[in-house]
Amino acid sequence: MPKIVADEPVKVASVEGVTEYRLANGARVLLFPEASKPTITVNMTVLVGSRHEGYGEAGMAHLLEHMVFKGTARRTAEDVNREFDELGAHYNAFTSEESTVYYAS
């Protein structure tokens, strides 16, 4: 099987200690170093929320948020939970009108 190598992220800007990178798939990555904390927090924000639901789709954004924790074709729900637990991470998600946010600390 060929090895998959991701393209290097491209540095876009750095302002007041916050650095923005762009991935090859168009995703934006913002790094906010916080040296006073012994942990890290990863936050993934998808700019789609309940406002983007069409007629007859009420609750779909929230349902999809929950489905992420139900597993994938490669990882069962138990795998997802175990992997976070092995890292000692607390994780959750929420959906607003404008976005869906997943986070782990």
57-68: b or e for each residue (b if 16 or more CB lie within 10 Å)? eeeebbeebeee
Give CA–CA dist 77/96, Å, rounded: 24
**Helices in 22-87 by DSSP H: which ranges?**
60-67, 77-86
Residues with a catalytic annotation lie at 65
